[in-house]
Structure 1
């Protein structure tokens, strides 16, 4: 199995103390964590994108550029690039620049995003988010794979002879599709023969599994090479301690404080995927995707979920409200104590020598 650290750069205040991390410090931690992830031998680091709420990832390309300058081996990615909101011309330009700066260490994950407030903020109709996603992706593929592009669509002016610069480092980089709540995203991925990353964050396992299963059915029906139907999985947060009981008690204020803060948004209970299905830390650990516990218990849980998902990539996120030294300690213990246990049981061709579509500059074994 391969392993990725994802930071969506959430930055709400601490649920107990009310203190907020200064924006400059929070962004610096993203870069420092990526550097540490590379030092620890983890495979990839991804930066999210949001344009509303207590989140600092409105400019993920800037953050990834800073990470590219501080690293040399780790693969860089997004989680997700909110393609429904963006002009494909700028996406092609910006991420080909990241691909060049990292010398071919970039792969992208696209999606419609999970923040409803982004659409009115940017003057777009949320009821058309899937239309935007499909059309923008079609154009993005053309721009990345070829030059002198002619194109006609519904949601932006037509193009004649368009070429975006810079070009990707060594041919079109791979694009994954983020999957959280809808069949649309996995069907779009399957239609084009692309891999997916399941959010696996807020809902019961079976809600995500039905989408993963549907993806594999549609991917096979489209006749794509099964060797490239990779699946990634997120998690409901990562926290490690010597024992699972200790981890639960230490992480309780942060987890349950985050649940209470999410309640203030007053999401419609029927809005699947907007709020967690697991109200307490015990529920999240026992029945949900939270990776909270001893290293051995967390490894067991990843392997248990792998029995359901058959995933090739495990993505983890570390809460920014932990003290920086504790964040580093959790990541170090994950890399040194959890990853070897999982890799001993799960093999994958993703990003290895047999994966001909991998990022060309990625040099992990």
Structure 2
């Protein structure tokens, strides 16, 4: 199992003080969180991609390249890279470059995004969201796997004799997760290629994601990549912890009540009952996260959203200390118990190179 954090890079006022960080402060804070993630023993740091206020991470590869230079073992990922509005040629080049700079410590999660206006900003039509995701990813795979590409599709100018540079490190492209909260077409796409499927299950009840992940697992097996249990699944999560649950609830409630993603919806108690959000003690976080395996089966990657809703950096760093010291060691141990030997571990560059070499022999 791989454990990590993901950030969406929102600039949200702290409801207890009314102060919002500047863009500069927020960007620097994201770097600080990545470095803290490695310090406390996490495996993955992932950043979102947004092109509108109140978000700042418009250039994930810039941020991740900077983090790569200051870390040694952290896997750097995205949550998500917009496959619909980015040119697949630029994705191929940018993430191969990042892969070299980070000595392979790179993968990416692809998604359509959740901001409708981003499509016309980049010359696309939101009504083509699914076809864009399908076609653009097909081209991205071609660019990474073939030295010379001839291509003609619906959404971009043709390519003739084109070579994307640099070539992927060791001839092995970064591992790809397909992220979705609602689209069976994306689960099907992930299954077709034998890629990972990341169900960002932070807002909706588990029953919805049980259906989506089950579809992905069944289709993964249908396409001959392995058994349903061997499919690569990643999950989201949200936590806020203090030594006792009463303190955690009291401290987090104003952030929940005022945050744009939560405000004026279900109560904190209703939301924690219906979704993976856990506000309580470290043991409560452990107990609830362990139920994910009961619902979704053995999986490979668990990412937590920690720095949202206007929480100050100091508080988030305290949360990461608790996560790394009290929660993740227990989760690693418990998730390893009775895990079938044929269920793959979380993907790394080294494991992908080994797999590629074994296939070529």
Equivalent in the alignment of 2:358: none
The one of 278, 281, 301 equivalent to 1:294 is 281
Q: Secondary structure at the match of 2:351?
A: coil
Q: Is the 8 A contact 2:307 2:313 kept in 1?
A: no
Q: For residues 168 and 352 of structure 1, do their structure 2 counterparts lie closer, same or farther at Cα, with a shift above 3 Å needed?
A: closer
Aligned partners of 2:14, 2:354: CA distance in 1, in Å? 37
Spell out the pairing of 1:145-164 with structure 2 (5 A cutoff).
145-164=145-164
TM-align CA RMSD: 2.1
Q: Is the 8 A contact 2:239 2:278 kept in 1?
A: yes
Equivalent in the alignment of 2:66: 66
1:117 Cα offset (Å): 2.1
* 1:317 lines up with 2:317 in the alignment: no
1:349 Cα offset (Å): 3.6
Aligned partners of 1:326, 1:158: CA distance in 2, in Å? 50
Aligned partners of 1:300, 1:358: CA distance in 2, in Å? 35
1:287 Cα offset (Å): 2.5
Q: Secondary structure at the match of 1:177?
A: strand
Q: Secondary structure at the match of 2:109?
A: strand
Equivalent in the alignment of 2:246: 245
Question: Normalization by structure 2: what TM-score?
Answer: 0.90
Question: Normalization by structure 1: what TM-score?
Answer: 0.89
The one of 342, 346, 352 equivalent to 1:357 is 352
The answer to which of 342-351 and 134-143 deviates more is: 342-351
Q: Is the 8 A contact 2:49 2:60 kept in 1?
A: yes
Equivalent in the alignment of 1:134: 134
1:262 Cα offset (Å): 6.0
Q: For residues 262 and 242 of structure 1, do their structure 2 counterparts lie closer, same or farther at Cα, with a shift above 3 Å needed?
A: closer
Listed as ranges, the gaps of 5+ residues in structure 2 are 337-342, 356-361
Task: Please identify runs of 4+ aligned residues in structure 1 that moved more than 4 A.
Answer: 259-263, 352-355
Aligned residues: 345
Aligned partners of 1:152, 1:251: CA distance in 2, in Å? 51
Q: Is the 8 A contact 2:175 2:347 kept in 1?
A: no
* 1:231 lines up with 2:233 in the alignment: yes
1:353 Cα offset (Å): 9.0
Equivalent in the alignment of 1:267: none
1:355 Cα offset (Å): 8.0
Q: For residues 300 and 312 of structure 1, do their structure 2 counterparts lie closer, same or farther at Cα, with a shift above 3 Å needed?
A: same
Spell out the pairing of 1:185-264 with structure 2 (5 A cutoff).
185-226=186-227, 229-235=231-237, 237-259=238-260
